[in-house]
Amino acid sequence: MEKFIYLFKGGESNGSEDAIKADMQKWMAYMGNLGQNGHLVGGEPIQPGGKNVKGTQKTVTDVTSKEAVNGYLIVNAKDINEAVELSKGCPILESNGEIEIRQIQKIEM
């Protein structure tokens, strides 16, 4: 098995308490299913905002874009195709969000 990271971007919510609870139940079911099938390694939501540090000048700017990463999961999958298929059940896609999927590179020590 290889490891992949899902970087979650965007997503819309109407913000009502009932909608938030329903979204959380969907996320818990999705992650529970990944875990039961041996795919879930871990992950966390990320607070909005933050800072970007760029280049040799070490320029600091605020993270404010809707395209900012707002969470991640690490999953085990046999290849990128399986990682893509596993992502298709993710609740963020129901709220017009996006998942960037990247393979985690192994480093030999």
In a domain, 73, yes or no: yes
Average pLDDT over residues 92-109: 93
Burial, 75: exposed, middle or buried (Cβ in 10 Å; 0-12, 13-18, 19+)? buried
In a domain, 67, yes or no: yes
In a domain, 98, yes or no: yes
pLDDT at 10: 86
The label of the residue with tokens 């971007």 reads: 9
Q: What is the dihedral of CA 25, 34, 48, 55, to 10 degrees?
A: -170
In a domain, 108, yes or no: no
pLDDT at 66: 65
Greater pLDDT, 16 or 100 = 100
Greater pLDDT, 19 or 36 = 36
| Mean pLDDT for all residues in the chain | 92
In a domain, 83, yes or no: yes
* Domain total in the chain: 1
Q: pLDDT at residue 32 above 80?
A: yes
DSSP string, 16-39: -HHHHHHHHHHHHHHHHHHHHTT-
Indicate which CATH number applies to the domain containing 34: 3.30.70.1060
Average pLDDT over residues 62-73: 84
In a domain, 8, yes or no: yes
In a domain, 14, yes or no: yes
**Residue 75's pLDDT band (boundaries 50, 70, 90)?**
very high
How far apart are alpha carbons 102 and 65 in whole angstroms? 21
In a domain, 76, yes or no: yes
